[in-house]
Amino acid sequence: MTEITPIDVSDDRQVELDEEEILPELEPIRFVLTLAESGERLDKVVARHLTAYSRSRIQKWIEQGDVTVNGAVAKPKQTMAGFEEILVIPRLSDEETAFTAEPVDFPIVYEDDDLLVVDKPAGLVVHPAAGNWHGTLLNGVLHHLPKNAAVPRAGIVHRLDKDTTGLMVVAKTVESQTDLVRQLQARTVHRAYFALVWGEPAPEGTISAPIGRHPKNRVKMAVSTTGFGRHAVTHFRRLATGILNGSAASLIECRLETGRTHQIRVHMQAIGCPLVGDPLYGRPHLASVFPRQALHAFRLELQHPRQKVPVAWTAALPEDMVALLEKASISLEGKWYGPDNP
């Protein structure tokens, strides 16, 4: 099997393996006010009786109609007269319901008793987080594999950006997850990417430049010029160059020595060849050419956690990237790195 440069994803794509608390269904809470509580606002009274919950959460329940006073839906700033019966129906927060099974479509490339390998489509968030508490790959994994609720993080051990497509591995047991995490930390999990970038980079090269959080835009990462970043190395090869919207665009293959957040996107921007369609690091005047960054993880290689033998998978380019290459008059013929052409 062809040896591939190892990829370190322990920094930005590996998920911490903390156990998730499984929250029970919350029971309705009833209590009756005293005369001493007359003249007080409802939210303050409820907060005093339900000290386990924050004031903001209680206010949200009132606004949602989850609190009643003598059987009638409460008003947000309602004043109490005393002796009212209060009924509170607690609701779990988005964060608390994030780890739930939901039907989410994603292609399955391989599955056995230990592993699930998926070809993540564009637009699918891997892990629940602010702004994306539901409809993630994790929710879909729990729907497909209910037993993965007993595995930390539902078996997910690494990530891809929301709009990056390609191969990901999910562990189906705690033992497999532990083994995969160790492989990630040892940089023995190998992954290769296809990317379409603006311009015509050198036929091949290595970008060694530290990456850290952008000093002015916290959403972005940036190459460090003042020592704030972390060591990052990207190797690339130019496979073909075409013309897209009147400008040169090149298909490249990238292999990583490190796995910093947005590493390929930041490094290619740093050499003047940002990814086509990249909303953060691309060329704004050409943003309409492609609706996402043109980046695809097409090959994944690791050691099977139980069988202890090398295993590898490849994933064809998604249709939107194929159409994009055709538009740029770039052919994949002779450039596919599948099992018969490593």
Active site residues: 161
% helix, strand, coil for the chain, step of 5: 20, 25, 50
d(CA 186, CA 8): 8
Using alpha carbons, select from 28, 231, 266 the residue that is nearest to residue 161: 266
Neighbours of 82 (CB within 10 A): 13
Using CA atoms, how far apart are residues 252 and 240, in angstroms rounded to an integer?
Answer: 7
Nearest alpha carbon to residue 286 among 210, 171, 196: 196
Q: Are 321 and 233 in contact (CB under 8 A)?
A: no
Q: In sequence order, which residues have a C-beta less than 8 Å from that of residue 315 and are 6 or more positions away? A: 109, 119, 165, 166, 167, 296, 297, 298, 299
Q: What are phi and psi of 175, to 5 degrees?
A: -65, -45
Of 314, 311, 294, nearest to 302 by C-alpha is: 311
Name 49's Cβ contacts closer than 8 Å, sequence gap at least 6: 29, 31, 86
- Sheet of strand 85-88, all strands in order from the earlier edge strand to the far edge: 29-32, 85-88, 67-69, 72-73
Unique residue bearing structure tokens 């050409």: 286
Q: What's 37-78 look like in SS3?
A: HCCCEHHHHHHHHCCCCCHHHHHHHHHCCCEEECCEECCCCC
d(CA 258, CA 254): 12
How far, in Å, CA of 265 to CA of 39, rounded? Answer: 59
